[in-house]
């Protein structure tokens, strides 16, 4: 048994779904379970509809809702009409509630967001049937059981695995099961979501729960690359990489994989493949448990833009117990994750990628220290096993940076990554120089 997850661009139209069906047909002997994202940009459109409703613009909200409904009719088989109509009837009632509420509580965020995957899973299953695949749709909310943290729920693995074993595994013996990614429900039945990009995570959860031979993440690129093509084009495909390296890359901005995806796969030692639905002949990237030796010191360069640097200095706290605890308690209370940290006796510099509560955080920090904020920064994360064991790697990296000013440097506890903070406007120049230096020659066993 394998699990095949297809992203939004892979199921964005009737034509795209037909291509997915052909890919699935080629693997019927492996008994695939299919996980799909919402069609195209449906989730973004749903949230825009909700925003208009909350703002009191009922006419605009329902205009966009009608356009989204028409899109789903146009890209679906006739058999899907009744399902589409019932889902949009429900959604219309939710939009009316939001107009009256004039706010968008987290539980409503999850409810509204869930309709994309609920619709796409039905539409894909029905299209498969039209194309000769014995398919059946399963509502992920019936088997992906989560905690109550809306918009960023965590799966309750024991309960979820038991549900997958009892409900999905028997069906998968006879049919191609199609499920929506990203969505789940609490034990008492309230709809939740796993966070944006969570369909990858769903694929890994389902694969782990079913004991799949491999988990395939089908996207619109040929796998992981040596650099982000949106920053610097011309990257090379990474053929194979370890779970630990892939996790670092995903967290620090590699968009082809959700950061949480590798966790259930790693725990069950199930290989993860990153494949391209628009180029199914490509071998993609294989993510495995074992360390992957490589002649190149770095496997890939990941980037995060829109980073904010917060510098915290207090001479009063010299040698004082609990300084760091007080700082991170403030960030914790405002639910603001910290990416990178450097410290000295009296100063702490850290980076965040969420500024929603920055003003309140800084106000509290200024009660114990001086605070300086620099926005529009960027993180560059170099990932590779060899960083921790090959002498001279750091020196060669800093030489390659040339005259780009590095504001922070951090090496992870795992020693798998070296992270640097630079000004946002220097990102492209820095990554281009690093890539040219680090991948001037390639280990043919690891790169293509």
pLDDT tens digits along 78-111:
999 999 999 999 999 999 999 999 999 999 999 9
**Residue 384 phi, psi dihedral angles, 5° rounding:** 175, 145
Strands 2-6 and 214-219: parallel
Instruction: Tally the domains of the chain.
Output: 2
Q: Which of 194, 220, 246 is the last residue of a domain?
A: 220
pTM of the predicted structure, to 2 decimals = 0.88
Last residue of a domain, one of 220, 251, 277: 220
Question: 39-43, 221-225, 346-350, 395-399: which has the highest mean pLDDT?
Answer: 39-43
Question: Which whole number is the average pLDDT over 244-263?
Answer: 80
pLDDT in the model for residue 402: 85
Q: 98 or 196: which carries more pLDDT confidence?
A: 98
Ordered DSSP codes for 161-180: HHHIIIIIHHHHTTSEEEEE
Band of pLDDT at residue 318, cut at 50, 70 and 90: low
Say what percent of the chain tops pLDDT 70: 97
Q: What is residue 273's three-state secondary structure? A: strand
pLDDT: is 169 or 318 the higher one?
Answer: 169
Do 215 and 119 belong to one domain? yes
- The answer to whether residue 307 scores a pLDDT higher than 90 is yes
Q: Between the CA of residue 407 and those of 377, 391, 393, 426, what are the distances in Å?
A: 9, 23, 19, 11
Confidence at 317, pLDDT banded by 50, 70, 90? low
Residue 41 has pLDDT above 70, yes or no: yes
Is a pLDDT exceeding 60 seen at residue 196?
A: yes
More confident residue, 391 or 192: 192
Please report whether residue 205 resides in a domain.
yes
Backbone angles phi, psi at 390, to 5 degrees: -100, 115
Q: Kindly state the DSSP code that residue 235 receives in the 8-state scheme.
A: P
Residue 320 has pLDDT above 70, yes or no: no
C-alpha distances (whole Å) from 185 to each of 4, 38, 111 are: 22, 17, 10
Is 289 part of any domain?
Answer: no
- Residue 256 covered by a domain: no
Contact call for residues 228 and 392 (beta carbons, < 8 A) = no
Find the mean pLDDT for residues 178-198: 93
Boundaries of domain holding 159: 2-220
Cβ neighbours around 436 below 10 Å, total: 12
SS3 154: coil
Asked if the structure places residue 164 within a domain, the reply is: yes
- pLDDT at residue number 395: 84
Same domain, 109 and 7: yes
| Cβ proximity of 327 and 365 under 8 Å | yes
Domain end call among 220, 248, 267: 220
Closest CA to 32 of 67, 3, 62: 3
- The length of the chain is 448
Confidence at residue 414, expressed as pLDDT on a 0 to 100 scale = 60
How many Å separate Cα 280 from the centre of its chain? 22
Two tokens, residue 96 = 């009316």
| Six-digit token string for 304 | 């995060």
């Amino acid at each position: 048994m394998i699990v095949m997850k297809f992203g939004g661009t892979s199921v964005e139209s009737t034509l795209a779904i037909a291509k997915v069906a052909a890919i699935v047909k080629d693997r019927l002997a492996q008994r695939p379970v299919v996980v799909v994202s919402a069609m195209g940009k449906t989730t973004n459109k749903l949230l825009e509809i909700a925003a208009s409703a909350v703002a009191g613009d009922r006419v605009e909200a329902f205009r966009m809702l009608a356009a989204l409904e028409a899109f789903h009719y146009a890209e679906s088989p006739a058999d899907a009409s009744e399902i589409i109509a019932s889902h949009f009837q429900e959604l219309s009632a939710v939009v009316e509630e939001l107009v009256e509420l004039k706010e968008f509580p987290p539980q409503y965020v999850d409810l509204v967001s869930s309709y994309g995957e609920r619709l796409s899973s039905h539409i894909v299953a029905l299209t498969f049937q039209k194309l000769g695949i014995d398919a059946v749709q399963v509502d992920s909310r019936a088997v992906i059981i989560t905690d109550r943290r809306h918009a960023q729920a965590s799966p309750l693995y024991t309960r979820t695995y038991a549900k997958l074993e009892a409900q999905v595994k028997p069906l998968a013996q006879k049919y191609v099961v199609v499920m929506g990614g990203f969505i789940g429900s609490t034990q008492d039945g309230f709809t939740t979501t796993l966070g944006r990009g969570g369909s990858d995570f769903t694929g890994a959860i389902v694969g782990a729960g079913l004991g799949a031979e491999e988990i395939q993440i089908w996207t619109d690129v040929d796998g992981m690359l040596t650099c982000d093509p949106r920053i610097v084009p011309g990257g090379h495909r990474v053929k194979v990489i370890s779970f630990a390296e892939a996790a670092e890359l995903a967290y620090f901005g590699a968009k082809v994989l959700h950061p949480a995806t590798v966790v259930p796969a790693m725990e069950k030692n199930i290989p993860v493949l990153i494949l391209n639905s628009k180029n199914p002949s490509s071998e993609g990237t294989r993510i495995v448990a074992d360390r992957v030796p490589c002649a190149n010191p770095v496997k890939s360069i990941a980037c995060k833009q829109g980073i904010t640097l917060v510098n915290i200095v207090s001479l009063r706290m010299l040698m004082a117990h609990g300084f760091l605890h007080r700082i991170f308690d403030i960030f914790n209370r405002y639910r603001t994750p910290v990416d990178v940290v450097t410290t000295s006796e009296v100063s702490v510099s850290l980076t965040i990628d969420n500024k929603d509560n920055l003003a309140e955080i800084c106000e509290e920090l200024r009660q114990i220290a001086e605070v300086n904020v620099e926005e529009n920064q960027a993180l560059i994360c170099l990932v590779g096993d060899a960083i921790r064991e090959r002498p001279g790697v750091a020196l060669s990296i800093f030489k390659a940076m040339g005259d780009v000013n590095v504001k922070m440097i951090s090496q992870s506890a795992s020693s798998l990554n070296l992270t640097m903070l630079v000004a946002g406007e220097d990102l492209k120049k820095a990554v281009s120089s690093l890539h040219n230096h680090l991948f001037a020659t390639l280990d043919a066993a690891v790169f293509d």
